[in-house]
Amino acid sequence: MSDEQARRETRAIRAGRGPNQGSVASPIWPSTAYELRDLDVSARMAVTPLATEFYARNGTPTVQAFADAVAQVEGAEAGIAFGSGMGAASTIVFALCSPGDRIVAQASMFSVTNQLLTRTCERFGIEVALVDAFDADALCAAVAEKPTQLVWCETPANPAMGIVDLEAVGGLMGPFTVVDSTMATPAVQNPHDHGVHLVFHSATKAIAGHNDALLGVVTGERELIDVLWGHHVVHGAVASPFDAFLGLRGLRTLHVRQRQACETAQVLAERLEAHPAVERVRYPGLASHPQHELAMRQMRSGGSIVVVDLAGGYEAGRAFVEQIELAIPAVSLGGPETLVTHPASMSAASLSPDERIAMGIPEGMLRISVGLEHADDVLADLVAAL
């Protein structure tokens, strides 16, 4: 069986193995410089996208092994890794857009991407139209309205948990399309299958998966990835070989970790939905999610993130975070520890209350990144805190 024919679980194990001298574990190549004895080869490598044996800002074997492996799992031709998700995001924007260009972006999305697209892009004369991308017609209408260079979507949205129709994004004619698939992971959804050009992950989250590496990764057709590299090499948001090693190691177990976390998440979502202190549970795997059917068409499960809106607002959110013992209050997601984020006082604290409301972040919202503890223990902890 060729690696391309293998299932995603198998590709996650097989991918990203270079000429490693028989080492079963992928080696770490920390060198920033490589011997350049043949000057013809050197001259060629200096301009070859993602060359791995020239200078580490251009590429290194470990970082590229990680990016190639994610590309294989996503079913893409090529991949490129970055020192963080935001390093990837700013590279995509500034590699593909110039002053005067227009971006259509989802209104409700990860707050720092929102800052990049609104505040930073505005300073550079790039027009950004924010739309309710959970409404596929509104998204298509916004793109049809004016020439558009780039469409930026995120599904499920962090933290509002709305779902964007991947078929609709993949079917858009004209602009480059990007989907931030961090909240789903490649184990749960694969936007390239729907025709999306670029798939974005903050691999800091579930791909590396252990809360110990900062990484971004983008996959797509080789030509487009090469264009991103052209800006990446001057922008310099390069991944460390050590973090890329951890990313590749995380990818090996992504599917089993996600299967377990998603199973627990479904149980938690169902149980918390019935609790009187809970106003609403937002989880794509619940029949009560307004886009449940769409989610089940394009996702293999509801994912491992459960969002709970507490009836008591900001103070209830704060009290909950102070009460939990097993779950840890922290702002990341996708690791083995169950983490609870209170966006109003943590990840979205830099936004004004009005901006938070516009992004679908009420004051009593909690985002729970379900970890790998026993489901009954997590449930007991969360219910005790309620």
Ligand X SMILES: *Cc1c(COP(=O)(O)O)cnc(C)c1O
Binding site for ligand X (CB under 6 A): 84-86, 110, 112-113, 154, 158, 180, 182-183, 202, 204-205, 214, 216
Give the nearest distance from C-beta 183 to ligand X in angstroms. 6
**Alpha-helical runs (H) found in the chain:** 8-14, 39-47, 61-74, 85-96, 111-115, 121-123, 136-145, 166-170, 222-235, 241-273, 292-298, 313-323, 353-358, 375-385
Nearer to ligand X, 149 or 158 (CB): 158
Give the nearest distance from C-beta 180 to ligand X in angstroms. 5
Nearer to ligand X, 116 or 224 (CB): 116
Nearer to ligand X, 126 or 348 (CB): 348
Cα distance between residue 311 and residue 283, in whole Å:
17
Cα distance between residue 302 and residue 266, in whole Å:
7
Contact 286, 270 (CB under 8 A): yes
Give the nearest distance from C-beta 340 to ligand X in angstroms. 15
Contact 245, 62 (CB under 8 A): yes
Nearer to ligand X, 211 or 301 (CB): 211
Give the nearest distance from C-beta 347 to ligand X in angstroms. 9
Nearer to ligand X, 161 or 385 (CB): 161
**Six token digits for residue 172:** 């858009």
Cα distance between residue 103 and residue 153, in whole Å:
11
Nearer to ligand X, 182 or 338 (CB): 182
Contacts of 267 (CB under 8 A, 6+ apart): 375, 379
Give the nearest distance from C-beta 182 to ligand X in angstroms. 4
CA angle 221, 228, 218 (to 5 degrees): 60
Give the nearest distance from C-beta 69 to ligand X in angstroms. 18
Give the nearest distance from C-beta 303 to ligand X in angstroms. 12
Nearer to ligand X, 334 or 362 (CB): 334
Nearer to ligand X, 179 or 385 (CB): 179
Nearer to ligand X, 72 or 84 (CB): 84
Give the nearest distance from C-beta 159 to ligand X in angstroms. 9
Nearer to ligand X, 261 or 385 (CB): 261
Please give the backbone phi and psi of residue 67, each rounded to the nearest 5 degrees, phi first.
-65, -40
Give the nearest distance from C-beta 89 to ligand X in angstroms. 6
Contact 380, 265 (CB under 8 A): no
Residue nearest to ligand X (CB): 85
With b for 16 or more beta-carbon neighbours within 10 A and e for fewer, the 237-250 pattern comes to bbbbbebbbbbbbb
* H-run or E-run covering 80: strand 78-82
Give the nearest distance from C-beta 361 to ligand X in angstroms. 13
Contact 65, 17 (CB under 8 A): yes
Cα distance between residue 250 and residue 206, in whole Å:
8
Query: What are 39's strand-pairing partners?
Result: none
Cα distance between residue 16 and residue 14, in whole Å:
7
Contacts of 168 (CB under 8 A, 6+ apart): 136, 139, 140
